[in-house]
Amino acid sequence: MDIAAELREIVPDGVVTGREGLIPYTRDASHFQGAMPSAVVLPSTTEQVSNLLKYCGQKGLAVVARGGGTSLTGASIARADAVVLSLLRMDRILSVSGEDSCAEVEAGVRIDDLNLRLSKTGHLFPPDPGSSLAATIGGIINTNAGGLRCVRYGTTKDWILGVEAVLMDGTVLRLGNRTLKSRIGYDLTSLIVGSEGTLAVVTKAFVKIVSKPESVARLLAYFNDIESLGRAVAAVRASGIDPLIAEYLDRMTMDAVESTGTFKFHIHSQYVLLLDIDRAEESLDRYVSAATLTLKGCGAVEVVATRDRAEMERLYTARKGAYSSLLRLRKTEHDAVVIGDIVVPPSTLPSVFRRVDELVKEHTIRVALFGHIGDGNIHANIFVDMSDNAERERVEHFHEDLARTALENGGSVSAEHGIGMEKVSLLRMEYSYRHSERALGLMKELKSVFDPKGLLNPGKVFD
């Protein structure tokens, strides 16, 4: 029997072969072209996943787990011949308990679908990557995704109580559970979070949920110089205002957003800082006034606060769609937008911004900056003509210099999009900068304990 026939014994109605069926699995949202998989399997149950992995393990077939396929780093496409395991059929929300602050969801559930369901009982699953419409629970766990609300709520790792995960030999592990605490030896759940499908396949998760904030106001503070904006962020944080969201956009990004018609900014400035403040209804206005004073004191040329739900929604959508809006500024179809995803301690933002500005000029590249500034995450969106080798090289150098700037300021080369294929060398750079190359060695050893034959998502995270 050939491989496809044997896979069909395990998932009778869920094996895709044939060039036309497989082509869509050669791409994710990154600019990489993946290899053609030998087959795609679409299991519906943990048992099927277990049997599939066991079979692939015995046959020595590489396996790439895939959720929404929205990875920006080429994490969800195959580097060489592999079986792609799509988790999308595992799309059930199994239970929601406000009492336990917990939801039990299968790996293929999309984040917006989960939040739609939770909104019916006034709850929220906080991680909100810009791709939440399509990204899945399994995907955000494996990339440890961030998003706008990270400044308050942290990243995905802070919201995962436990996972059901299947090892390459077919063993099903149930790690963690519905309780908010559990100290049961090494924290294997946390090890799987962010492992980019290289350790195990996640089939289910217990995620923590919260009540939606009571009253929220959204502030827009306009600045004409980036250092003032950096100071304002530090001052807001120091003043105990503790924003729910703290995002910034540069002029090019604002232009891009305006060009989509989603939002028209109140004045023409070089930068805008977007802050969400939530408090009990009685004290919200007081906090908004205090924040406005702080922002103006740091050099904001204008501060506009709104509590109008429709306007707030438009602003949120505009910010969430910032990367997408920028795509409209591509000059030709060969243009790609490559994303630098660094993070630095917020207190260093003024000097980091100054340096980034210098780098953009030095390398003569076109770049739009925005990011989750509240937690020091800057996305440098670099336009690159993929058919122009000289430009590609300049962009690569900019990328490296940007990463070095983050490291020199106590930050990191990769904040939330993960490593995938794209940032393998930057990861090496970071550990070597910290004289901790051994950490990479340890990771590889751990990987070989989980997956001795190296079959799970080969070629990702490490060379």
Partner 1 sequence: MTAAAQRLHEEAARCIKCGFCEAVCPTLPSAGYQASKGARGRVLLADEMLERIGRGESLSGLGDSFYSCLDCYACYEVCPAGVNAGKVSHYAKEIIAESDQGVPDMARLMEKNIMRFGSLLPLGKRAASWSRGLELPATGDTLLYTGQMYQLMSFSSALTGFLRRRGELGKRLIVGSSLKFPWLMKLAVLLNDRQMFDEMNNSLRNIAYLLKLAGIRFCYMGADEPYPGTLMFDLGFEASSRAYATAVTDEFRRRAVRRIITVDPHTHDILANTYPSLVPGFDFEVVHYTELLGSLKFSKTGRQVTYHEPCHLSRRFDSLSAPSDLLGRAADISLPDRHGRRTHCCGGPDELLFPEISSGVTATRTAQLAEAGNSMTVTACPVCLLNLRHGGEVADMSQLLVESAAR
Of 305, 244, 306, 319, the residue nearest 276 (C-alpha): 244
377 is in the binding site of which of ligand FAD, partner 1, none (Cβ under 5 to 8 A by kind)?
Answer: none
Q: What DSSP assignment string belongs to 50-79? A: HHHHHHHHHHT--EEEESS---SSSTTS-S
* Amino acid identity for residue 187 in this structure: D
- Between CA 227 and CA 231 the distance in angstroms is 6
23 binds, among partner 1, ligand FAD, none (CB under 5 to 8 A by kind): partner 1
Question: 3-state DSSP call for residue 175?
Answer: strand
Between 72 and 151, name the residue whose CB sits nearer to partner 1: 72
Decide whether 110 or 447 has the Cβ nearer to partner 1: 110
Minimal distance, residue 154 CB to ligand FAD, in Å: 12
**Closest to ligand FAD by CB, 137 or 284:** 137
Asked if residue 459 binds ligand FAD (CB under 6 A), the reply is no
Which of partner 1, ligand FAD, none sits in contact with 140, Cβ below 5 to 8 A by type?
ligand FAD
Hunting for tokens 């020199």 — which residue is that? 408
Least distance (Å) from ligand FAD to the CB of residue 448?
A: 18
User: 34 or 194: whose CB is closer to partner 1?
Assistant: 34
Residues 6+ apart with CB under 8 A from 302: 221, 222, 266, 267, 269
Shorter beta-carbon distance to partner 1: residue 57 or 68:
68
Residue 163: CB minimum distance to ligand FAD, A: 9
Residue burial 7-38, b: 16+ Cβ < 10 Å; e: rest: bbebbeebbbbeeeebeebeebbbebebbebb
| Total count of residues recorded for the chain | 463
Handedness of CA 396, 401, 406, 410 (dihedral sign): positive
Q: How far from 441 is each of 53, 75, 429, 431, 462, CA to CA, in Å? A: 25, 20, 14, 11, 10
Would you count residue 196 as binding ligand FAD (CB under 6 A)?
Answer: yes
User: 218 is in the binding site of which of partner 1, ligand FAD, none (Cβ under 5 to 8 A by kind)?
Assistant: none
Of positions 188, 202, 359, 373, contacts ligand FAD by CB under 6 A: 202
8 Å CB contact between 222 and 271: yes
Question: Which of 385, 394, 382, 260 has its CA nearest to residue 332?
Answer: 385
Beta bridge partners, 174, equal 164
Q: Which residue, 29 or 356, has its beta carbon nearer to ligand FAD?
A: 29
User: Does residue 162 interact with ligand FAD by CB under 6 A?
Assistant: no
CA-CA distance, 240 to 261, in Å (whole number)?
A: 35
The site that binds ligand FAD (CB under 6 A) totals a number of residues, namely 39
Q: How far is the CB of 43 from ligand FAD (least distance, A)?
A: 11
Strand-strand pairing, 160-166 and 123-124: unpaired
- Cβ distance to ligand FAD smaller for residue 191 or 305: 191
Specify the stretch interacting with ligand FAD by CB under 6 A; choose among 138-146, 274-282, 351-359, 403-411: 138-146
371 contacts ligand FAD (rule: CB under 6 A): no
Mark residues 69-88: x for contact with ligand FAD by CB under 6 A, - for none: xxxx--xx----------x-
> Residue 129's binding partner, choosing from ligand FAD, partner 1, none, with beta-carbon cut-off 5 to 8 A by kind?
ligand FAD
- In whole angstroms, what is the distance from residue 444 CA to residue 166 CA? 19
Interface with ligand FAD (CB under 6 A), residue from 16, 55, 66, 344: 66
In Å, how far are 4, 90, 117, 175 from 93, measured between CA atoms? 30, 9, 9, 18
- Write out the binding residues for ligand FAD, residues 323-352 only, by CB under 6 A: 323-324
Helix axes 389-408, 349-363, angle to 10 degrees: 160
Minimum Å gap between C-beta 322 and partner 1 is: 10
Provide, rounded to whole angstroms, the least separation between the CB of residue 239 and partner 1.
35
Nearest-approach distance from CB 16 to partner 1, in angstroms: 6
Numbers of helices and strands, H then E, in the chain: 16, 18
Q: Which residues contribute to the site for partner 1 (CB under 8 A)? A: 13-14, 16, 18-21, 23-29, 40, 42, 68-70, 86, 88-89, 91, 110, 112, 116, 131, 133-134, 321, 323-325, 327-328, 333, 336-337
The residues that touch ligand FAD, with contacts defined as CB under 6 A, are: 28-29, 64-72, 75-76, 87, 107, 129-131, 135-136, 138-140, 142-143, 145-147, 196-197, 201-202, 323-324, 416-418, 457, 460
